[in-house]
Amino acid sequence: MLHLELEKRLHAALLAVHPAVSVAAVHVMPAPDAKFGDYQCNALMTLARELKTNPRQLATEVSAKLDVADLCEPVEIAGPGFLNFRLKPAAIAAVLAAAARGEHLFFQPAGTAARTYVVDFSSPNVAKPMHVGHIRSTGIGDALVKILRRLGHRVVTDNHLGDWGTQFGMLLLGWKTRLDRAALEADPIAELERLYKEVNALCDDGKPTFDPAVRDAAKNELVKLQAGDAENLGIWREMQRLSQLQFDSIYGRLGVKFDHTLGESFYNPWLAGVVEELTARGLARSSKDAVAVFADALWPEGTPRPAPKDNPFLVQKDGEWVDLPALIQKSDGGFNYMTTDLATIQHRVREWNPDEIIYVVDDRQAPHFRQLFAIAGQWHPEWTAKTKLTHVGFGKICGTDKKPLKTRDGNTPKLAALLDEAEERALALVTEKRADLPLERRQEIARVVGLGALKYQDLLPHRTSDYVFNWDKMLALTGNTAPYVQYQFTRAAKVARDGRGNGQGPVAPDQIVLVEEQELALAKLLLNYGHTLERTALDYAPNFLCNYIYELASAYSRFYDNCPVLKAEEPTRTSRLVLCELTAQVLQDGLALLGIETIDEM
RNA sequence: GCACCCGUAGCUCAGUUGGAUAGAGCAUCCGCCUUCUAAGCGGAUGGUCCCGCGUUCGAAUCGCGGCGGGUGCGCCA
C-alpha cells in the first residue's frame, strides 16, 4: 500500500530534477531482501542511461528533493544507484490501524482509472463431459475476474459454450438411431458422449470403422439443423438443457458464476454478414470453394506488414513462405469458429464497449488468436484502438509420466469425478486427524479443503507452464498448499475471535506497537497485499497471489510460534491481536479471490 | 521443415519494466510441545540457472547460434 505513496513522491522529486522526464516506468516495489530495506527503486539506473548522466549522481539529486521523512528513514543510495526505503514502524502502525478500522484492506481501488473488461473463460462443450482441462480455464479465469473486480474494475463474464458445429450432425444421427433412453435417464452426458464416440468412429475416414454412408447421414442432419429443421432443433435444445444441468452442478460446486452464457449458436444470425463484409472490403476471398482471409489481403502491397515469421497467415514449407489462410466459410457453405469468434468480438464491442477482452484459453490455440486479433484489427481498426484483445494462455496438466493426465483406462479424467475424489481424499485425511468431529462437520471441512487443494494446485504454477498433477502433494499439510494456508487462517481467526470482547473501541495508531522481528515481518507483508493484486492483474498470473498468500501464511506461523497474543500485556496484546485479525482477513480475502473457501476449524 | 512455449537443487516449482550473494516446498539429516491447534517452527545438506558467443554498470531474464523436450501448422474448436 505504501509503495504507491512512495512512488508518487518519488515521481514528484524526479520531476523537480528533470521536468521533461517520463515517470511512468519508475516504480517503487518491495525489496527482494530485508537487508536492502522494505522497498526499492531501481529505475533511476535505467533512466540515467537515457539521460546520459551518472546514475549515483541522479539518485543523489532525486533523493535530495524526496520528502518521505514521515514514512521512512533517510533514503539510502546503494550499489550503482538503487534507492532503498526503510519504513518507520510508526508509519506501518498507522496503515494497520486504518485497516483495523475498516478503511481499507491494504489495496487501493482503481477509482477513476477503472477499466471495463470482458472475460471469456471456461467454455465447455455441450453434450460432452467437462474434463480435467476445464479446471484450468475455469479456475484461472474466475480468479482473474475476482481480482480485477476487487481492484475496482468493471468485469463482464461470458461463458462461450461450444453449442454449435460439426459434432451436432453426429450427435443428432446418434440420438435418432442408437439412443438408449434408460442410459440417458441415468446419466445424460455419458450417454451423449457414447453416441458421439460411436458415430464419430464411423465418420472418421482414418479409422477402420469408417462408413461413408454414416458420414453423409451425419452431415445431412447437420445441414437440417442449420436450416432450422424443427425436429433437429428440438433435439439440439434438449441436449443443451441436459448439458446446462451438468454445467450448473459443476459451477455450483466450484462457486463460479457467469454474467452471460452466450454460446456459439447465439452468433448464427451474424455469420453470413461477417463473411460478406470481409469479402466486400477485400480482406477475404474465395479459395478452393471456401472463403478465407489471406496475408496479402490483410496487408496489401505497400502497407506496413509483419515479417514473414511474425505473420500468422504464413507458414514455411520446403523453404518457401506459403499461405496459411484463416477460413471463415467452408466449401459446403457452413461457417466455422473463426467466423463465430469475429462475430463475438463485434457483439462484445457493441454491447459492452470494453477496454479489454480477455480469452482464457489453452496455449495451443495461440495461433488462432493471433489470426483472429489481426483480422479484427484490420476489419475495424476503431475496435482495436479502443479494445485490447488478450489471449491468456495456459499449459497442460500432466501425470507423473509428464504426459497429459489420463485415468487408468487411458481416458481423460472427468471434472466431476475429480471433484468427488478431492473431497473423498480430504475426508480421509480429516478423519485421520480429527476423529473427534462429527461426520457432517468433517465432510464440510473435506469439501472446503479438498476443492481448495485442487484449485490451489492448479493456480500455483505459472499459468503458461505444464504441471504435474499430484493428489498427495496438493493435500499435504506442509508446504505451499491450500490446506497449509487454510490452516494458518484458522489459527489466526481463532486467536482473533478469542481475543475480542474486551470492549475495545477503534484502534488508534499509537496503540499498535511493532517490536519483534516476526511482528514487523508480518505487518510489512500485509502492506504488500495491494502490490501483489496489481502485479497479478498486470500479468494475468494468479500464481503471484498464491505465492504471496503462502508467504503471508508462513510469516503468520512464525509470528504465532514466537509471539504469544492473548497472554501478552498491553499494548502488545492489542497490537498482536490486530495483526491476527488483519492476517485472517487478508488470507481469507486472497483465498476468496482464488475461488477458495476458508473454514474456522480444521 | 517453420513458428510458438519450455529447459533453474535428487524431485516439484518460484524468481517483479534486466537489479544486489539465484529462492521455496518435498525428500534426507539434526533439533523444538507443562505455553493461543506440533495439521506447526528452527537448523543443516543440496546449483555448470541446458551449452556457447554477444549487449551492459549489472543477464536465469534481452539478442544471435547450437542441443534437448512439448505444442501447432487449410475447411474441428
pLDDT tens per residue, range A358-397: 999 999 999 999 999 999 999 999 999 999 999 999 999 9
Instruction: Mark residues 160-219 of chain A whose C-beta is closer than 7 A to nucleic acid strand B.
Output: 162, 164-167
Which residues have a Cβ under 8 Å from the Cβ of A300 and sit 6 or more positions away? Answer: none
pLDDT in tens, A264-320: 999 999 999 999 999 999 999 998 899 999 999 999 888 888 888 888 999 888 778
Say whether both A488 and A433 belong to one domain: no
Considering the domain boundaries, does residue A304 fall inside one?
A: no
Nearest-angstrom CA–CA distance, A293 and A280: 12
Cα gap A386→A551, rounded to integer Å? 38
Quote the strand ranges of A22-96, DSSP E. Answer: 29-30, 39-41, 76-78, 82-85
Q: How many CB atoms lie within 10 A of CB A472?
A: 7
Question: What is the tens place of the pLDDT at every residue in A441-473?
Answer: 999 999 999 999 999 999 999 999 999 999 999
Contact yes or no for A106/A99 (Cβ under 8 A)? yes
Lowest-confidence pick of A192-201, A388-397, A406-415: A406-415
Contact A279, A271 (CB under 8 A): no
> For residue A531, what is the domain's CATH number?
1.10.730.10
The C1' atom of B15 and the CA atom of A547 lie apart, in whole Å, by 11
Among A372-376, A389-393, A413-417, A502-506, which stretch is predicted with the lowest mean pLDDT? A502-506
Q: Which three cell numbers stand for residue A365?
A: 490455440
The residue type at A124: P
Give me the CA A308–C1' B72 separation in Å, rounded: 17
Q: Does one domain contain both A156 and A241?
A: no
Residue A260 reports pLDDT greater than 90:
yes
What DSSP string runs through A124-150? PBTTS--BTTHHHHHHHHHHHHHHHHH
Q: Are residues A521 and A535 in the same domain?
A: yes
Q: A314 pairs with which residues across the strands?
A: A323
A353 found inside a domain: yes
CA angle A513, A514, A520 (to 5 degrees): 160
The answer to whether position A9 is within a domain reads yes
Q: Looking at the predicted structure, is the pLDDT value of residue A205 above 80? A: no
DSSP string, A526-591: HHTHHHHHHHHHHHT-HHHHHHHHHHHHHHHHHHHHH--STTSPTTHHHHHHHHHHHHHHHHHHHH
- The answer to whether position A270 is within a domain reads no
At residue A504, the pLDDT reads: 61
CB atoms within 10 A of CB A384: 17
- Number of domains observed in the structure of chain A: 5
**Residue A216 falls inside a structural domain:** yes
Q: What is the CATH number of the domain that holds A50?
A: 3.30.1360.70
A589 and A490 in a common domain:
yes
- Whether A584 and A516 map to the same domain: the answer is yes
CA of A537 to C1' of B16 (A): 13
Comparing A188-192, A396-400, A541-545, A595-599, the range with the smallest average pLDDT is A396-400
pLDDT at A502 over 80: no
A428 CB-to-strand B distance under 7 Å: no
Claim to verify: residue A493 and residue A538 sit in the same structural domain: yes
Nucleotide nearest to A84 (CA to C1'): B20
Mean pLDDT, rounded, for A431-446: 90
Q: A39 pairs with which residues across the strands?
A: A30, A85
- Single out the residue in A453, A474, A495 at which a domain terminates: A474
Average pLDDT over residues A22-34: 91
Mean pLDDT, all residues of chain A:
92
- Return the closest-CA partner of residue A118 out of A375, A379, A355: A355
- Asked whether A1 and A527 are in contact (CB, 8 A), the reply is yes
Q: Give the pLDDT of residue A34.
A: 87
* Local structure of residue A254 (DSSP, 8 states): H
Residue A159: CB less than 7 A from any atom in strand B: no
Q: Which of residues 487-546 of A touch strand B (CB under 7 A)?
A: 487, 490-491, 494-495, 498, 531, 535, 541, 543-544
A34 touches strand B (CB under 7 A): no
* Neighbour-count burial of A118, counting CB atoms closer than 10 A to its CB (0-12 exposed, 13-18 middle, 19+ buried): buried
Positions of strand B less than 7 angstroms from a protein CB: 1-6, 12-21, 23-27, 35-42, 56-58, 70-77
Q: Which amino acid is at A259?
A: D
CA/C1' separation A30–B39 (Å): 31
Domain at A364, CATH number? 3.40.50
pLDDT, mean of residues A51-61: 90
The secondary structure of residue A260, as a DSSP letter, is B
A429-461 burial, b at 16+ Cβ within 10 Å, e below that, comes to bbeeeeeebeeeebbbbbbbbbbbbbbbbbbbb
Q: Pick out the nucleotide with least CA–C1' distance to A317.
A: B1
Answer yes or no: do A249 and A154 share one domain: no
Q: What cell numbers appear for A565 in the block?
A: 497474543
Residue A269 lies in a domain: no
pLDDT value for A384: 92
A479: CB within 7 A of chain B nucleic strand: yes
Closest residue to B37 (CA to C1') is: A491
Q: Which three cell numbers stand for residue A547?
A: 505465492
The residue segments making up the domain with residue A56 are 2-86
Task: Please check whether residue A310 lies inside any domain of the structure.
Answer: no
Residue numbers in A 289-318, CB below 7 Å of strand B: 289-290, 292, 309-310, 315-318
Same domain as A467, residue A390: no
- Shared-domain flag, residues A210 and A245: yes
Structural domain ending residue among the three candidates A262, A279, A307: A262
Query: Who's near A304: CB < 8 A, 6+ residues apart?
Result: none
Distance A42 CA to B20 C1' (A): 10
A558 CA to B39 C1' in angstroms comes to: 15
Domain boundary residue among A262, A294, A316? A262
| Measured CA A569 to C1' B77 distance, in angstroms | 64
Quick one: A430 and A393 in the same domain?
Answer: no
What contacts A524, CB < 8 A, 6 or more positions away?
Answer: A38, A87, A92
The pLDDT of residue A510 = 79
Compute the distance between CA of residue A319 and CA of residue A477 in angstroms, rounded to an integer. Answer: 55
Evaluate whether A444 touches A599 at the Cβ level (below 8 Å). yes
In window 95-124 of A, residues with CB < 7 A from nucleic chain B are none
Judge whether A405 lies within some domain. no
Nucleotide closest to A160 measured between CA and C1': B77
| Residues A509 and A581 placed together within one structural domain of the fold | yes
Do A181 and A226 lie in one domain? The reply is yes
